[in-house]
Chain A
Amino acid sequence: MLLSLATQEGIIAAEHIPADSPLALRGMTVSYGEKPAVFSVDMTIQEGAMTAIIGPNGAGKSTLLKAALGVVKPLAGHVTVFGQSLKSQRHRIAYVPQRASVDWDFPTRVLDVVLMGLYRELGLLRRVRRAHVEKAMSSLDRVGMTDFADRQIGQLSGGQQQRVFLARALAQSADLYLLDEPFAGVDAATEKAIISVLKSIKDEGKTVVSVHHDLATVRDYFDHVFLINTRKVAEGTVGEAFTEVNLHKAYGGRLATAQMDQLNLAAI
């Protein structure tokens, strides 16, 4: 029942997908058990924008990102990347998973992790050449981590680990960057470094989409927002969509009025 309904919506919606959007989802429905984590979500990301995906805990933010990447298989729905199939455009997407999703005790060095971003270039057997190492090192340079290239990844602080993940994404030389809570559990200096890198990516005309938790920084960091609570609540520029009404819809009673007051919300 749920499946067929969602599929129908997906098919109907798939007919009018904007061809120029770096990432467009139609009728996306994902479920890990009985209850859908994401239900029939349409999302259209603006090219060259920095979009925050926001919503309460368990709202399906990360799931939406993973479904867009094909990391989790949706029950229904349709993804287009730059107007084409995900498969044909994979090489244009860089992904930064949640830092806590991997085992940092894994026996490898910082440089090796960044080189993983060059997998599509290297393939199965091509040798790692000086040019590849230089590319990885310049990615590390952008996040201020060149001195740590030879470190075992378990010896890094949370913020440093997050920078390494960002460097790996930079090495992918993508046009669309998808990040899952890049500021979770990092120090202030790292947060500053990451946002300046993301802004420089945006200045190159690339598109950034990030799952984001801290409502207080949405206005400073992003120009677009996508609000979700299993279903889509709103999307648009920060001015249009980051409003008290929409936040109430997404978070319900979980946001106190006092918190709302601090957010400098667009007055509607």
Chain B
Amino acid sequence: MTGAEFVPLSLTPLLIGTFAAIACALPGNFLLLRRQALIGDAISHVVLPGIVVAFLVTGVVSAWPMMLGAAAASMLAVGLIEAIRRLGKIETGAAMGVTFTAMFAAGVLLLEQTDTSSVHLDVEHALYGNLESLIWLNATGWHSLLDISALNDLPPELGRIWLTLIAVVVFTRVFWRPLKISTFDPGFAEAIGVPTRLTGLALVVVAAIAAVAAFDAVGSIIVIAMFICPPAAARMMTNRLEKQILWSVVFASTSAIVGYVLAGYGPLWVGSEHAVSAAGMIATISGLILALAAMFGPCRSAQSG
């Protein structure tokens, strides 16, 4: 494949997919160790009613109101989960399950009752995203990367997910110690003055931001998969949190790149005419990596490593 073909058609979806995968996998590492991995699932489901409500309120399909709606919905969901957990005195997983199914169902009902199908806002789109359509039309080859007018035409999703990724990386780096200490030993963390509640809340908010930005670009299947699969696979590769984070980045990027390429070209190689969903393939690859790590990873159980 030449640059003239690759740059406009494949470069931007690959970058967006990779950035989205890493942005979700980073907070996923801590959520997994805190046994809150399901929160990514919860957030990506409740994004739907948030987007629908934002559309109903503003009447336009525009990224910012929808992302704000999604962010508001995920904050509402986080609050609801905490309220149900405390008032109902049930475990967090159950509270999450109740919250996200109820809110997702409400989103589907809202979507049905409103005429949004014409504006490319449907359940399928919400689930799979449209990674394949995030192409860079004005690019003509690698040299376009130096061409200001062509660069202005980059899909806006790329800029948003790039900023989100930077924010997630900065958060993880700056709050590394509070995150690590309060995840391992919350009681000790509180006793030495680490603001554990604030740290936990900030982690969930950052996860929500990553989920919403990634959802906007790639749909909820990738979001859900990337919160859990790369960190879980990474945990089985090492017994050091620092290395686990790096492995999760490697696995997230690998899933995004291999998944995207396989979705586009894999079916052709086996004689089929149609490409398959890139989001579905990326999530599948991340699941395969997890399965391989579970079978062959050196640190599958702490006692054996």
Contacts and interface: CB of A to CB of B under 8 A. Distances in A.
A152 B192 contact: no
Contact of B190 (A70, A87, A108, A113): A70
B188 A97 contact: yes
A152 B185 contact: no
B187 A107 contact: no
A168 B176 CA distance: 18
A97 B185 contact: yes
Contacts of B299: 107, 152
B97 interface: no
Interface in B233-258: 235, 238-241, 243-244
A154 B239 CA distance: 9
A102 B185 contact: yes
Contacts of A105: 302
The SS class assigned to the B binding surface is helix
B271 interface: no
B192 A107 contact: no
Given A90-B193, A154-B239, A108 B174 contact: no
Nearest to B183: A106
Interface in A69-127: 69-71, 87, 90-91, 93, 95, 97, 101-109, 112-113, 116-117, 119-120, 122-125
A132 interface: no
A97 B187 contact: yes
A119 B33 contact: no
B123 interface: no
A21 interface: no
A112 to B, nearest CB: 8
Given A90-B192, A107-B244, A152-B305, A125 B187 contact: no
A122 B178 CA distance: 11
Interface string B56-67: 000000000000
B240 A108 contact: yes
Contacts of A172: 192
Contacts of A153: 302
A106 B184 contact: yes
Interface in B173-217: 174-178, 180-181, 183-185, 187-188, 190-194
A116 B184 CA distance: 10
Nearest to B239: A152
A71 B239 contact: no
B117 interface: no
Contacts of B191: 69-71, 90, 93, 95, 97, 178
Contacts of B193: 87, 90-91, 120
Contacts of B178: 124
Given A107-B235, A119-B181, A152-B302, A124 B174 contact: yes
Interface in A109-157: 109, 112-113, 116-117, 119-120, 122-125, 152-155
Contacts of A119: 177, 181, 192, 194
B303 interface: yes
Nearest to A151: B239
Contacts of B174: 124-125
A119 B302 CA distance: 25
Residue among B175, B188, B190 with the highest chain A CB neighbour number at 10 A: B188
A232 interface: no
Interface string A34-72: 000000000000000000000000000000001001110
Contacts of A104: 302
B239 A95 contact: no
Contact of B303 (A70, A103, A116, A155): A155
A120 B244 CA distance: 25
25 contacts: A70-B190, A70-B191, A90-B191, A90-B192, A93-B191, A95-B188, A97-B185, A102-B184, A103-B184, A106-B33, A106-B184, A106-B241, A107-B235, A108-B180, A108-B239, A119-B181, A120-B193, A122-B177, A124-B175, A152-B299, A152-B305, A153-B302, A154-B302, A154-B303, A155-B305
Given A116-B185, A152-B302, 10 more contacts: A93-B191, A95-B188, A97-B185, A106-B241, A107-B239, A107-B240, A109-B240, A112-B241, A125-B174, A168-B188
Interface of B: 33, 174-178, 180-181, 183-185, 187-188, 190-194, 235, 238-241, 243-244, 299, 302-303, 305
| Cβ-closest 5 pairs across A and B | A154-B302, A152-B239, A95-B191, A69-B191, A97-B187
